[in-house]
């Protein structure tokens, strides 16, 4: 394979730039030429191709977001859209494609592979909601962003004996809430995978208060509820001073952590190595610290398993009132 392209698709995630940079530089060093496609599959349909060289990915490894920009495209998912995409790739002499994104982006990658364009998926999303890989690009940075918010909110909440609800992203996956909640010592972690009713939540907070603990941090995954609503419910039942913070898109930005930069580099290089061997229709991932690849649809089909052991551990170590 002599000429490949790379695009980012779906929600951006810190570390995408590190993956783009690694893929571009490794491919060029290996004798290939590389095109960047702007704005994901939308840009692919609109012929937004840019020639990349070693310098075009300078000064980006430390930046969040994606220099190629990103988009969600409905048109690409139609038969006509797919035909246009294949035609545009062929007319630019593209023999293989790297797609950095989440599961929706991977389905598009699979369609392109079936149309004869070998395509490799790199998992990029802060949600960590792909079952086939231990970690996705951007998750570690987002965890650290949430952690920073917890630390700051903890200062003011404990000074005022307040309860704070921090709503975090993650769609239907509670990993971001779980990991950041453990790191930040949150007294309650509410995730979509484990249903906890309002009476149970208030019961917990009441038991903390009965033991002299008036300030608590609740990390609420967006898939488990809305912070302003939960705030009202707690105030009504407990009469406590409660504040709610929705972190929102703050969690998507920021300079990638070292771990996300390393992962981006490893994923980018692995994707190029596969294409070099004319291998497509694969996703790359990491398991037990090792980079691997597997069939796209098999990867997408792997069910995400929530780590109940980790959740149970958090309940014990983050609760200072147990047996006190
Ligand atoms: O998938 C990443 C994510 O940030 C989710 O955590 C969140 O629910 C969603 O995207 C937000 O999407 P948008 O950027 O379209 O508002």
pLDDT above 90 covers what percent of the chain? 98
Tell me, using a 6 A CB cutoff, whether residue 143 lines ligand 1: no
What's the pLDDT at 320?
77
Tell me, using a 6 A CB cutoff, whether residue 272 lines ligand 1: no
Measure the CA–CA gap between 247 and 126, rounded to whole angstroms: 13
Pairing mode of beta strands 282-287, 242-246 = unpaired
What's the pLDDT at 203?
97
Are residues 7 and 132 both part of a single domain?
yes
Tell me, using a 6 A CB cutoff, whether residue 126 lines ligand 1: yes
Are residues 41 and 173 both part of a single domain?
no
Are residues 100 and 26 both part of a single domain?
yes
Mean pLDDT of the chain: 97
* Tens of pLDDT, residues 57-115: 999 999 999 999 999 899 999 999 999 999 999 999 999 999 999 999 999 999 999 99
Examine the pLDDT at 10 and tell me if it is beyond 80.
yes
- DSSP code at position 256: P
What's the pLDDT at 321?
74
pLDDT above 70 covers what percent of the chain? 99
Whole-prediction pTM: 0.97
Tell me, using a 6 A CB cutoff, whether residue 125 lines ligand 1: yes
Residues taking part in catalysis: 127
Q: Give residue 125 CA to ligand 1 midpoint distance, Å.
A: 9
What's the pLDDT at 27?
98
Are residues 119 and 166 both part of a single domain?
no
Can you tell me the mean pLDDT for 160-169? 98
Examine the pLDDT at 29 and tell me if it is beyond 70.
yes
**Domain containing residue 176:** 142-252
- Residue 218 is part of a domain; what is its CATH number? 3.40.50.460
Measure the CA–CA gap between 107 and 112, rounded to whole angstroms: 9
Can you tell me the mean pLDDT for 17-24? 98
Examine the pLDDT at 324 and tell me if it is beyond 80.
no
Residue 320: half-sphere exposure toward Cβ, Cα within 13 Å: 11
- Which atom from ligand 1 is nearest to the alpha carbon of 171? 8
Q: Whose CA is nearest to atom 16 of ligand 1?
A: 249
């Amino acid at each position: 394979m002599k000429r490949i392209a790379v695009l980012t698709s779906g929600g951006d995630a810190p570390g995408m730039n590190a993956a783009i940079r690694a893929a571009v530089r490794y491919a060029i060093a290996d004798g290939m030429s590389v095109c960047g496609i702007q704005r994901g599959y939308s840009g692919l349909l609109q012929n937004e191709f840019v020639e990349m060289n070693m310098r075009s990915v300078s000064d980006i490894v430390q930046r969040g977001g994606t220099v190629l920009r990103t988009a969600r495209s409905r048109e690409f998912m139609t038969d006509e859209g797919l035909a246009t995409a294949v035609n545009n790739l062929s007319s630019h002499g593209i023999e293989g494609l790297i797609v950095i994104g989440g599961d929706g982006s991977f389905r598009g990658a699979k369609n392109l592979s079936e149309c004869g364009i070998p395509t490799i998926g790199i998992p990029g999303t802060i949600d960590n909601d792909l079952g086939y890989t231990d970690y996705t690009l951007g998750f570690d940075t987002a965890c650290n962003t949430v952690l920073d918010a917890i630390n700051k909110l903890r200062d003011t909440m404990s000074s005022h004996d307040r309860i704070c609800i921090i709503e975090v992203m993650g769609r239907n996956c509670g990993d971001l809430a779980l990991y950041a909640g453990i790191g930040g010592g949150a007294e309650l972690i509410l995730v979509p995978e484990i249903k906890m009713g309002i009476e149970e939540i208030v019961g917990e907070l009441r038991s903390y208060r009965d033991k002299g603990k008036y300030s608590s941090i609740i990390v609420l995954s967006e898939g488990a509820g809305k912070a302003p609503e939960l705030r009202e419910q707690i105030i009504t039942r407990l009469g406590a001073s409660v504040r709610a913070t929705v972190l929102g898109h703050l969690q998507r930005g920021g300079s990638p952590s070292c771990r996300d930069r390393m992962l981006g580099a490893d994923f980018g290089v692995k994707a190029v190595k596969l294409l070099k061997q004319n291998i497509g229709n694969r996703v790359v991932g990491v398991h037990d610290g090792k980079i691997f690849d597997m069939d796209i649809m098999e990867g997408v089909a792997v069910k995400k398993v929530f780590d109940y052991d980790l959740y149970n551990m958090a309940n014990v170590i983050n609760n200072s009132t147990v047996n006190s």
